[in-house]
C-alpha cells in the first residue's frame, strides 16, 4: 500500500477551485523531500504538473499550484475546466524505503 | 527534447521472467542528477514505482519487489533494461519508463507497455 494518501475523488463545477491533498509522514514529505504532482488523462501516460513543491514546468497553466506544509502537500486547481477531468497523483521520496513513492491517486470530476 | 520508448512482450506466462527495455533520446545517463525509472499501473489502479538507476549506476528498488527486480543501463546504447522474475497474474499492468530529473520528479514518460500475465 502507498505511504502517500490522497482522497479518492474530488469534484467541482466549471470555474470553481478544488484542492487535492497528499498526506505523508516523517520519512517522506516531513523529512523535507520535495513533492511532485502528475496529471493522467484516460489512456495516457502521466504528465508532470508541478515539481519541487511549487514549480510548474513550462506549458502548464498557472491554474495549477502546489504547496507543502509539514507532512502534507496540496495541489489546487483554480478556474476548473472540463479538460481538467483526470486522475492526479502526488510523488515524493521516502528515506525509510530508500525509494520513490506515489500517492493513492485522486479522480477529479468536473460537474 | 527528451523521449523514451519502452519495449517488451505484451504477454508472459506465470513463473516466466519479464524483460523490458527503455530506449531514450534527448539526454545522457552520464549526466549528474539524472536517472531512469520504471513505474507500473495495474488496470484501474494507482501508479507504483518499481526501480530506478542513476547516472552513477546507483540502483534503487521497491522494497516489496526487490528480490524479483534487476535494473541495468547501457549508456552507449541509451538503454535501460528492467527484468522481473517469477511473473504472476497480479503483475498484469502497464509498465512505464520515465526520466528522473535533478529535482527528483519524473518529467518525461514513455508511452507505456501493457503486459498481461496469463497461461
- The pLDDT tens digits of the residues spanning B70-99 come to 999 999 999 999 999 999 999 999 999 999
The sign of the torsion formed by the CA atoms of A49, A54, A55, A56 equals positive
Judge whether A31 is closer than 8 Å to chain B, CB to CB: no
Query: What's residue A53's pLDDT?
Result: 72
Judge whether A38 is closer than 8 Å to chain B, CB to CB: yes
Q: How far apart are CA A12 and CA A79, in angstroms?
A: 10
Which residues, at least 6 apart from A106, have a Cβ–Cβ distance to it below 8 Å?
Answer: A6, A7, A8, A9, A10, A20, A87, A88, A89
Residue A59 has pLDDT above 70, yes or no: yes
Residue B2 has pLDDT above 70, yes or no: yes
Residues A31-56: what's their mean pLDDT? 93
With CB atoms and an 8 Å threshold, state whether A100 touches B109. no
Judge whether B35 is closer than 8 Å to chain A, CB to CB: no
The x, y and z cell numbers of residue B45, run together, are 489502479
Residue A52 has pLDDT above 90, yes or no: no
Between the CA atoms of B45, B59, A30 and B96, what dihedral angle is there, to the nearest 10 degrees?
-20
* Angle, vertex CA B52, rays to CA B49 and CA B53, nearest 5: 175
Q: In A, which residues are within 8 Å of B110 by CB distance? A: 45
Judge whether B60 is closer than 8 Å to chain A, CB to CB: yes
Q: In A, which residues are within 8 Å of B104 by CB distance? A: 33-34, 36, 51-52, 92-93, 100
Cα–Cα nearest to B56, from B26, B82, B76, B29:
B29
Residue A55 has pLDDT above 90, yes or no: no
Please report, for residues A12, A78, B52, the alpha-carbon distance to residue A18 in angstroms, rounded to integers and kept in the order given.
7, 7, 33
At B64, phi and psi to the nearest 5? -70, -15
Residues A81-89: what's their mean pLDDT? 97
Lowest mean pLDDT among A27-36, A55-64, A91-100, B105-114: A55-64
Residues A49-61: what's their mean pLDDT? 87
Query: What's residue A1's pLDDT?
Result: 61
Mean pLDDT of chain A: 95
Query: What's residue A107's pLDDT?
Result: 98
Q: How far apart are CA A6 and CA A73, in angstroms?
A: 10
Amino acid at each position: 500500500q502507498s505511504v502517500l494518501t490522497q482522497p479518492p475523488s474530488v469534484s467541482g463545477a466549471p470555474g470553481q477551485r478544488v484542492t487535492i491533498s497528499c498526506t505523508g509522514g516523517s520519512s517522506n514529505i516531513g523529512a523535507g523531500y520535495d513533492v511532485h504532482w502528475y496529471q493522467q488523462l484516460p489512456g495516457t501516460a502521466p504528465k508532470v504538473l508541478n515539481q519541487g513543491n511549487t514549480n510548474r514546468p513550462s506549458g502548464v497553466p498557472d491554474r495549477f499550484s502546489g504547496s507543502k506544509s509539514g507532512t502534507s502537500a496540496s495541489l489546487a486547481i483554480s478556474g476548473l475546466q472540463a479538460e481538467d477531468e483526470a486522475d492526479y497523483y502526488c510523488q515524493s521520496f521516502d528515506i525509510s524505503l530508500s525509494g520513490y513513492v506515489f500517492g493513492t491517486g485522486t479522480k477529479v470530476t468536473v460537474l | 527534447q527528451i523521449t523514451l520508448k519502452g519495449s517488451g512482450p505484451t504477454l508472459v506466462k506465470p513463473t516466466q521472467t519479464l524483460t523490458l527495455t527503455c530506449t531514450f533520446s534527448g539526454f545522457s545517463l552520464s549526466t549528474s542528477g539524472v536517472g531512469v525509472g520504471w513505474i507500473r499501473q495495474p488496470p484501474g489502479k494507482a501508479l507504483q514505482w518499481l526501480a530506478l538507476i542513476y547516472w552513477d549506476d546507483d540502483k534503487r528498488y521497491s522494497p516489496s519487489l526487490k528480490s524479483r527486480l534487476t535494473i541495468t543501463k547501457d549508456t552507449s546504447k541509451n538503454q535501460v533494461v528492467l527484468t522481473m522474475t517469477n511473473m504472476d497474474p497480479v503483475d498484469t499492468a502497464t509498465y512505464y519508463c520515465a526520466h528522473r530529473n535533478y529535482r527528483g520528479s519524473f518529467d518525461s514518460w514513455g508511452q507505456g507497455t501493457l503486459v498481461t500475465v496469463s497461461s
